[in-house]
Amino acid sequence: MSRAQPHYFGAGPALLPAQVLKQAAIDLLNYKDSGLGLGEISHRSAFAVSVVDSAKATIKELLSVPETYEVFFLQGGGTGEFSAVVYNLLASFALKTGKKGKADYLITGSWSQKAAEEAIRLGVDVNMAVDARKWSSNGKSYGTIPDPSTWTLGNAEETAYVYYCDNETVSGVEFPYIPEVPEGVELVADMSSNILSREFDVTKFGLVFAGAQKNIGMAGVTVCIIKKELLARPKDDDLLALGIPLAPLVLDFPTIVKNNSLYNTLPIFNLHIVNLTTQLLYDNGGLKVQEVLSDAKAKKIYEALDSAPKGVYNCIVDKACRSRMNIVFAIPGEGNEKAFLDGAKARGLTGLQGHRSVGGIRVSNYNAVSVESVDLLVDWINMFASNA
């Protein structure tokens, strides 16, 4: 069973390493000679528990997660986390302070914007401490991370958490640093589209989450890393008295952690893909090696775009926060983007269409995208520019 290596740059669900898919295909049919495929085996079986434990252990190893943190898995995707963050972080803040906390959101793209909108919908007093749109020439585009000196973070005594998106998949904006937050305020990060592409210091965070479908595996599993002390809770009645909604059980972090991520039916096959992908990353040298590779691939693409004659490609994201994972640009001129996409497709380069909300071109440079694919794309970027 095989296929030609695709040169696919889609933003998610994204490409998976061929070795992972080959092993997964075998395990979907007959896992460890059990006569059953992993998609058919009970989530209460020893096999399922070993998949959970192994995925947890490899992620802990890759990210040097300390003992004071817990790694767990759930469904609901990145969007489920937008809600889960609210319920869980307000509850732990209430235990610490006896108050309903407020939240700061750093809005640097459409995913952090959506997360803030969900928090508002759930009744949180949200302070948009940064709204990057205000810094654009038309007042509505994303493409920058305003300097921290301009952020209007709320009062530390009243703020449960500061939320941000480490890599904005649609606008191609990535934080080149971890935001500083006041002592005692928890930092929450959506790393759905750049986790496992570089090392980071887990201890700076209260919570990190990531949908698996870009750099870790397939849609259906969300990975969370949480500071253990945030799993403590007041009584439900006390939360309700403060006007804090109770988390639905499938989004209630303490319930999930207590049950080793198996409170309800977890998609074990999808988690197995996480397991295989993270194991491969580990065997290939871990995140230090991956970071060098990700940076080098992104650099090649940006260099090709920047070295084209002026006006052929338009990269609107500030150089300081250009994403290494999602490289977005426009090609001004009637029909030029279509011509670029058509020419790319003819060369076997696919998945390059920008997000439907912003258009343009988007190159997703996730871990499974090979240097060979990037080189072929760079050749096409150069050739298109020279004929423009």
- Choosing from 50, 54, 75, 79, the residue that interacts with ligand PLP (CB under 6 A) is 79
The span of 15-23, 90-98, 186-194, 301-309 binding ligand PLP (CB under 6 A) equals 186-194
Compute the least distance from the CB of residue 169 to ligand PLP, in Å: 3
Choices 188-196, 264-272, 309-317, 339-347 (CB under 6 A): range interacting with ligand PLP: 188-196
The reply to whether 338 belongs to the active site is: no
C-alpha to C-alpha distance for 251 and 90, rounded to whole angstroms:
13
Nearer to ligand PLP by Cβ, of 12 and 172: the residue is 12
195 in Cβ contact with 222 (< 8 Å)? no
Distance CA 275, CA 212 (A): 11
Q: Could you tell me which stretch among 77-85, 133-141, 174-182, 345-353 binds ligand PLP (CB under 6 A)? A: 77-85
Cα gap 42→350, rounded to integer Å? 37
The residue (of 31 and 82) whose beta carbon lies closer to ligand PLP is 82
Window contacting ligand PLP (CB under 6 A); options: 53-61, 187-195, 275-283, 343-351: 187-195
Residues 160, 93: contact at Cβ < 8 Å? yes
Of residues 27 and 365, the one with the C-beta less far from ligand PLP = 365
End-to-end distance of the chain based on CA atoms, in angstroms? 41
195 token code pair: 């986790």
Place of tokens 């929450």: 188
Taking the CA atoms of residue 282, residue 58, residue 92 and residue 236 in that order, the dihedral angle to the nearest 10 degrees is: 150
Q: Are 315 and 305 in contact (CB under 8 A)?
A: yes
Q: Tell me whether residue 251 or residue 304 sits nearer to ligand PLP (CB atom).
A: 251
Is 190 a known active-site residue?
yes
Interaction residues for ligand PLP, span 90-129 (CB under 6 A): 111
The smaller minimum CB distance to ligand PLP, of residues 144 and 323, is found at: 323
Angle, CA of 368, 207 and 274, to the nearest 5° = 30
Q: Does 77 bind ligand PLP (CB under 6 A)?
A: yes
Of 92 and 193, which CB lies nearer to ligand PLP in the complex structure? 193
Out of 62, 65, 107, 165, the only residue in the binding site for ligand PLP (CB under 6 A) is 165
Distance CA 162, CA 106 (A): 8
Cβ-proximal residues to 363 (8 Å cutoff; 6+ apart), any chain:
9, 301, 326, 327, 328, 352, 377
Residues 6+ apart with CB under 8 A from 158: 99, 101, 102
- Is position 12 an interface residue for ligand PLP (rule: CB under 6 A)? yes
Q: Does 354 bind ligand PLP (CB under 6 A)?
A: no
**Is residue 178 packed enough to be buried (19+ CB in 10 Å), middle (13-18) or exposed (0-12)?**
middle
Q: Which is nearer to ligand PLP, 192 or 279 (CB)?
A: 192
* Binder among 10, 78, 143, 267 for ligand PLP (CB under 6 A): 78
Q: How many residues bind ligand PLP (CB under 6 A)?
A: 11
Q: Which of 190, 227, 252, 380 is catalytic?
A: 190
Q: Which stretch binds ligand PLP (CB under 6 A): 21-29, 31-39, 74-82, 254-262?
A: 74-82
Interaction with ligand PLP in 190-249: which residues (CB under 6 A)? Answer: 190, 192-193, 211
Decide: is 87 part of the binding site for ligand PLP (CB under 6 A): no
| Helix axes 371-387 and 286-307, enclosed angle (nearest 10) | 10
DSSP state of 12: S
Tokens of 243: 């006007």
> Which one from 27, 60, 102, 111 is the annotated catalytic residue?
111
Minimal distance, residue 184 CB to ligand PLP, in Å: 26
- Interface ranges with ligand PLP (CB under 6 A): 12, 77-79, 111, 165, 169, 190, 192-193, 211
Positions marked catalytic? 111, 190, 214
